Amino acid sequence: MSNNSESLFKQISLGVYVIGVSDGNRQNAFTAAWVMQVSFNPPLLAISINPQSTSYQLLQAGGICSVNVLGQHQAALAEHFGQSAVDKMAGHQWQSAQTGAPILSESLAYFDCAVSHYSEAGDHIIAICKVVTAAKLNEGQPLLYKSTGDLDGSSQLYQ
Amino acid sequence: MSNNSESLFKQISLGVYVIGVSDGNRQNAFTAAWVMQVSFNPPLLAISINPQSTSYQLLQAGGICSVNVLGQHQAALAEHFGQSAVDKMAGHQWQSAQTGAPILSESLAYFDCAVSHYSEAGDHIIAICKVVTAAKLNEGQPLLYKSTGDLDGSSQLYQ
């Protein structure tokens, strides 16, 4: 691999999302960029997740999640939900659709999902999720991951 | 699912790529948008592919591929490599790096990859690929999938 892996991988265009997870009355939300559609019929999204996170445990236990699209004006939300704070969901408005996963009301759009299966992927795990319902919530253009700079500290994660 | 699935799924930001595949002296290249990074260490890319394509057979047989990033000025290339023409590689310059997969010289950057494993994904298959080498080739900003309109006819693919 090259010496400038981070700038090379930023050539892969990605959005920025808040992923909501819940298992019964335990819930959490975290920022992710590694999200894409992988099937038309059924409509499936793939989300690549750090398996050492608390949210991954909740996802595995509950089997549901929401993918909430952040807009260009919401980089601060990406940073907020990228933290490991215990109560980061407080102070934001959440709603629920079909699966019961927490949906971030201020996002541009949401995809309410049920996990289909998982696939190993190096230091991450890919959750392949069926989109049960989806809707637009607010007007705006999606935030692009590359415009967030090194907000997530990912420049440290390439060997 | 909603009645306007296509416009909803366009809220998921994606780039546009030419994927080069080869098996011995047979080779092909096709346009794809469902590409993302899924691991830092090892660096892995996931590519969701139509399993009924000729290119998928070549990918399975050869076990290698290149991911070539298209720039904003290259929508015509995306359309060209989205066709099923037999000789669509002719008239373009190709080079090879470590794996031997064909690399599109006019792209912004390439990732030369070896397939690690596959995962089922509805009407597609996800190839999880280890990035063996990668480099920047030309200056430019990546082409975004949503700016290509319905170039790929995907509006017909949602049920």
Predicted confidence (pLDDT) per residue in B81-119, tens digit: 999 877 899 999 999 999 999 999 999 999 999 999 999
Has residue A105 been placed in a domain? Answer: yes
Say what the pTM is.
0.94
Backbone φ, ψ for residue A84 (5° rounding): -100, 15
What's the pLDDT at A60? 97
What residues 115-154 of chain B have any CB closer than 8 A to a CB of chain A?
117, 119-124, 126, 128, 131-136, 142, 144-145, 154
What radius of gyration, in Å, describes the C-alpha atoms of chain B? 15
Q: Determine the residue of chain B that is closest to A37 in CA distance.
A: B34
Has residue B88 been placed in a domain? Answer: yes
CB contact under 8 A, B36 and A40: no
Is the pLDDT assigned to residue B2 strictly greater than 70? Answer: no
CB contact under 8 A, A48 and B36: yes
Domains held by chain B: number: 1
Average pLDDT score over residue span A8-28: 96
The tokens of A86 are what?
Answer: 């215990």
C-alpha separations of A25 from A22, A95, A100, B13, B90 in Å: 7, 14, 10, 31, 58
Has residue A139 been placed in a domain? Answer: no
Average pLDDT of chain B, as a whole number: 93
Q: Determine the residue of chain B that is closest to A98 in CA distance.
A: B1
Is the pLDDT assigned to residue A152 strictly greater than 80? Answer: no
Q: Residues B37-67: pLDDT tens digits? A: 999 999 999 999 999 999 999 999 999 999 9
What radius of gyration, in Å, describes the C-alpha atoms of chain A? 15
- Amino acid at residue number A68: N
Has residue B9 been placed in a domain? Answer: no
The tokens of A120 are what?
Answer: 């190993």
CB contact under 8 A, B40 and A135: no
What's the pLDDT at B153? 74
pLDDT band for position A159 (50/70/90)? low
B104 touches chain A (CB under 8 A): no
| CATH number for B108 | 2.30.110.10
Has residue A64 been placed in a domain? Answer: yes
* Beta bridge partner(s), residue B46: B36, B128
* Nearest-10 Cα torsion for A99, A102, A106, A109: -30
- Among candidates B6, B14, B11, B10, which has minimal Cα distance to A109? B11
pLDDT band for position A5 (50/70/90)? confident
Q: Domain range holding A108?
A: 15-92+99-130
C-alpha separations of B156 from A56, A126, B6, B82, B120 in Å: 34, 27, 9, 15, 22
- Among A83-97, A113-127, B25-39, B70-84, name the one with the lowest average pLDDT: A83-97
CB-based burial, A100-123: b 16+ in 10 Å, e otherwise: bbbbbeebbbbbbbebbebbebbb
Percent of chain A whose pLDDT exceeds 70: 97
Q: Residues A47-98: pLDDT tens digits? A: 999 999 999 999 999 999 999 999 999 999 999 999 987 789 999 999 998 9
Has residue A60 been placed in a domain? Answer: yes
Has residue B85 been placed in a domain? Answer: yes
Has residue B114 been placed in a domain? Answer: yes
Q: Determine contact, residues A117/A128, Cβ cutoff 8 Å.
A: yes
Average pLDDT of chain A, as a whole number: 93
The tokens of B94 are what?
Answer: 């190709």
- Among candidates B71, B127, B74, B65, which has minimal Cα distance to B96? B65
Angle at A24 between CA A20 and CA A29, to 5 degrees: 15
What residues 33-92 of chain A have any CB closer than 8 A to a CB of chain B?
34-46, 48, 67, 69
C-alpha separations of B128 from A121, A142, B115 in Å: 7, 26, 6
pLDDT band for position A1 (50/70/90)? low
pLDDT band for position B1 (50/70/90)? low
What's the pLDDT at B157? 72
Greater pLDDT, B7 or A159: B7
- Among A10-19, A22-31, A116-125, B1-10, name the one with the lowest average pLDDT: B1-10
